[in-house]
Amino acid sequence: MGIRDLLVEVASTYDRAAGSKREVKGQQVLRGVATRTDLVLPPGFRVEGHGGQTTPAATPWIGVFDTRGMQDPKKGLYLAYIFSADLKNVTLTLQQGITWLEEPLGKGRAREEHLRHHAARLRRAVKRRENVGWVDEPDLRDSATRPRAYEAASVIAKVYDTAKLPGDITLLEDLYVGVQSLRRAEEFDRLWWASGENDAFQLAYALKVHGEQGEISPRDFDPLAEFRPKDSGEYTAEIRARQQVKQRTHEKLVDDFGRHVAGRGFTPITLRQHPKDLVLRQQEPVEG
């Protein structure tokens, strides 16, 4: 047995209507994934199945995690085989964690817009267009918030027909493409968010792209590149020999508003705008 047999087994046994109890066959298959020894995986990777806990998952999935990197599907980047709600397709996808965004953005459209925006940025780093047969997002065919978030969180995706799955060799070759893309995306993510410097981003990935519209800068990939709201925490001010504790609650408002409009066609800018708190610039479409 191998990856192909596992995917066939999940597609043929999973039944959302049967619930999520341990005695349900499809749930047993998914929960047993982590202990299987018949799966050929890239070195340093492990797998685990997810069919829901108290509520059965609309779109069951199998996570493929790098034991040397991020292993929490709630945040970070990881690979997953996600089944469509009708089980007719299963997709190998490079995913962004979605759960950690629930508190700042909720579970609906704002989260999806954020995920799609960041997915587009990561897609440039992994050079998705060079991977023939891969797409941006799968169609999971379910309107619930989690499947829709999985679709939006996809950086690259390889969709298979569960009735016509390729052999293990082809599946493993595709998995290695996913691993390579995961490595590139993780490094891109680390440099982009940790350095905060556009020059470091350009040096690492040489993303000075030329097209019909001329040179594309990192700001074209990230509308938040020049958006750096100040700390919203309290601070102490000395006033006539006495101290007052003041608050910067307006900075939290600036931060929230800037991130909100970034997904709606505007680029928020705070750098070098003093005494203004915020300037908005209309985003222009980038030709890929």
SS (H, E, C) 224-270: CCCCCCCCCCCEEEEECCEEEEECCHHHHHHHHHHHHHHCCCEEEEC
Give the pLDDT confidence score for residue 138 in this predicted structure.
Answer: 96
Q: Identify the structural domains of the chain with CATH numbers, from first to last.
A: 3-194 (3.30.920), 218-282 (no CATH)
Which residue type occupies 69?
G
Residue 259 burial by CB count (10 A; 0-12/13-18/19+): exposed, middle or buried? buried
Give the pLDDT confidence score for residue 269 in this predicted structure.
Answer: 79
Region of residue 246 (phi > 0: left; psi between -120 and 50: alpha; otherwise: beta)? beta
Give the pLDDT confidence score for residue 180 in this predicted structure.
Answer: 93
Residue 30 burial by CB count (10 A; 0-12/13-18/19+): exposed, middle or buried? buried
Residue 53 burial by CB count (10 A; 0-12/13-18/19+): exposed, middle or buried? exposed
Give the pLDDT confidence score for residue 208 in this predicted structure.
Answer: 33
Q: pLDDT means per 10 residues in the chain (288 residues)? A: 94 96 95 94 94 94 87 80 98 94 88 92 83 93 96 97 97 95 87 53 34 40 56 59 57 74 77 70 63
163 three-class SS: coil
Tokens standing for 130? 């060079």
